Structure 1
Amino acid sequence: MRIAVVQFNSGKSKEENLDFIKGKIDKYSGKQDLVIFPEYSMIKPDFNDRNYMIDVSESITGQFVEEIRSMTMKREIAVIGNFVESRGQTEKPFNTSFAIDNMGILFGKYQKLHLFDSYGYMESKVYNEGLRRPEVISINGIPFGMEICYDIRFPELSRLYALKGAQMITIQAGFFKGEYKLETWTALLKSIAMTNGVFVVASGQSGPEFIGHSTVISPAGKVIEELGEDEEDITVKIDMSEVTSYRENVKVLTARRRDFYDISGL
C-alpha cells in the first residue's frame, strides 16, 4: 500500500487549511493510495475559548468534509482527515477523524476518546470526549484503526484494534513540545507497533508548538521513515505480509495468558 503522510502547521483559517489539504490530495493523485493529515488540520484550536470552538465546528456533511470528499472522488485517492465535529450551538464539539475512500465514500469515523488534560493544557474545556465505539475499518483490503494524539498513551485502544483484526493503526497528532516529549512520542509509537504486531502510520503537526516527527513504523519496531520538525511529507510503500511474518514469530496476540489477566472487553 502506498501512503503519503502530511506534516504541516495549520492556522486559524479553515479556508486556507482546506486549500492546503486539497493541494496535497491533488499532488498525490495517481501516485499514492492514501493520504493522511494530522490532528487539528481543519483549524488550530483555542483551548481557552469554548464558544469559538463551537462556532467553527461543522457536521460531517458540512463544507470542510464535503469538499475533501468531492476531491477524493475526482482524484481517486483515499484520505484520513480530522475536523471539529459539531454537537449543536451550545454543546462542546468532538475532535473527530474521518476516512474517505477513493470513490468519495465516507467509510469511517472516530471521535477522540482521551482528551489532553495534562501539562497545563485542558482540551476538555473546548471538546467533548468521544462517544462512539472504536471500530476496525478497511481500505484496499487492509484492516486498520484510527487514534488521535493523547490516545497513544492508553494501550487498551490499540490492543482492542489488534484483537479485532487491525493490521495498521493510523495516528493523527498535534503533539505539543515539552521535556521528553519527543522521546515519549517515539517510545509510544514503537510500543504500539511491536506489542500488537501492526504498522503504525503517524501524522503530526509541525510549527513552534508541536514536535512534528511524523513517523511510519513496522510491526517489528523499525522506523521506516521519520520527519523532523519542518513542514514536509513522507511517501512510503508498506508490505502487509510483514504483519503476518512478525505475528508468526512473535505471538503478541495468541500467546496471551488470559487465565491470569483476563481484562474485560480485551
Structure 2
Amino acid sequence: MRIALSQLTTGPDPESNLGLLREQAHRAADGGARAVVFPEASMACFGTPLAPVAEPLDGPWAGEVRRIAKDTGLVVVAGMFTPAPDGKVANTLLATGPGVEAAYDKIHLYDAFGFAESDTVAPGSEVVTIDVDGVRIGLATCYDVRFPELFRAHADAGAVVSLLLASWGAGPGKREQWELLTRARALDATLWLAAVGQADPAASGTPATSNAPTGIGHSAVIGPDGTVRQSLDGAPGMLLADLDPAEVTSVRQAIPVLANRRLSGAN
C-alpha cells in the first residue's frame, strides 16, 4: 500500500489551511498514493486560540476534508479540533475517504517541557483503527509516541501500520527524542510506523513566536524492524512510501515480542 506523508506548516486560519491540504492531496493522488496523512493541528496551528476554531465532525471544515477525499479518491487523515465539555476542545484526527470514516481523540496530552495541553484540551480514551484496502492501521497523535502501550494496542487490534500525526515541540534534544521514540515504537509493536510532523516554521519562512509546539519536521517511515526507510529534514515536503504488510509477518516471526509478552500479575 502506498501512502503519502505531507509535512507542511499550517497557520491560524482553518480556511487557508484547507487550501494547503487540497493542493497536497492532489499531489499525493498524482503520486499513486491510496492515503495521504497530514500533521496534527492541520486545522490550525498551536499558539492559536483553539476553542473559537473548533468544529464538530459534521461541521464545514471536516466537510471540506471529506470533499478533498472524494475529489482525489484518497483516504485523508488530518488533525483538527472538535468541541469538548467545559469550554475545552478535543485534539482529533479525522480519517475519511473510500470506505473509511473515523475519528481519534488524542489520549495522552502534552503536559511537559513547560507546556500544558490539558489546560485547553480534553483527553480521549478510545484506541482507534481503520482499514484501508484490507490493511489495518492504528491512529496516534504526537505525545502518544512516549507511551508504547498504545502502539501495542494497535497491534493487538490487528494493525500492521501506525500513523503518528504530530506537531512536535522544539528544544534541546527534542529531534533526537523524536527519532528514538518513533523507531522504538515501530520495533516494540513490530509494525510500520508512518510519522508525519508539522514542518519547522523557520524552514517555511514563518518562525515560531511562542513556546507552543509548532513542529520540527523530520517526518519518517520506520519499518517493523525499527529501521528508518525514508525521512525528511525540517522543511516542507512529501514522502511517498510503499508499505508491505507481509514484512510485518516476517519480522513478528523473527522477533516475537508481542507473543512473548508476560503481563504484570499474569499467571
TM-score, length-normalised on structure 1? 0.91
Aligned residue number for residue 142 of structure 2: 149
Residue number among 112, 118, 140 corresponding to 2:112 in the alignment: 118
- The secondary structure found in structure 1 opposite 2:122 is coil
Aligned to 2:233: 228
Structure 1 contact 81–97 (Cα < 8 Å) conserved: yes
Over residues 128-179 of structure 1, what are the superposed CA-to-partner deviations in whole Å (9 max), with x where a residue is unaligned? 1114x11232111111111100011111111111112111100000111111
In structure 2, the residue matched to 1:43 is 44
Structure 2 regions of 5+ residues with no counterpart? 203-213
Q: Tell me the residue number matched to 1:107.
A: 101
CA contact (8 A) 2:166 2:215 kept: no
> What residue identity is the alignment partner of 2:101?
F
Deviation at 1:124, TM superposition (A): 1.1
Q: 1:138 aligns with which of 131, 141, 149?
A: 131
| Alpha-carbon offset, residue 25 of structure 1 | 1.3
Runs of 4+ in structure 1 over 6 Å off: none
Q: 2: CA distance between counterparts of 1:195 and 1:116?
A: 22
Tell me the equivalent position of 1:192.
185
Deviations 1:194-220 (A, max 9, x none): 111100001101113522100000001
Corresponding position of 1:247: 252
State the alpha-carbon separation in 2 of the partners of residues 120 and 2 from structure 1. 38
| Aligned equivalents of 2:140, 2:245: Cα separation in 1 | 20
Counterpart AA for 2:37: I
CA distance in 2 between counterparts of 1:148 and 1:36 reads 12
Select 1:98's aligned residue among 86, 94, 102: 94
User: Match for 1:188: what amino acid?
Assistant: L
Q: Alignment partner of 2:140: what SS?
A: strand
* Distance in structure 2 (CA, Å) of the matches to 1:219 and 1:147: 16
C-alpha contact (below 8 Å) 1:98/1:106 kept by paired residues: no
Q: Deviation of residue 106 (structure 1)?
A: 4.7
3-state SS, counterpart of residue 112 of structure 2: coil
- Are 2:6 and 1:11 equivalent residues in the alignment? no
Query: How many Å separate the matches in 2 of 1:53 and 1:164?
Result: 32
Which among 76, 80, 84 is matched to residue 81 of structure 2?
84
Identity %: 31
Return the offset for 1:24. Answer: 1.0
Indicate conservation of the 8 Å contact 1:116/1:123, yes or no: yes
Give the C-alpha shift of residue 110 in structure 1.
0.6
- Counterpart CA distance in 2 for 1:116 and 1:216 is 23
8 Å contact kept, 1:69–1:106 = no
Q: Are residues 1:67 and 2:72 paired?
A: no
> Structure 1 residues 118 and 62 mapped into 2: Cα distance closer, same or farther (>3 Å)?
same
Q: Does 1:2 align with 2:7?
A: no
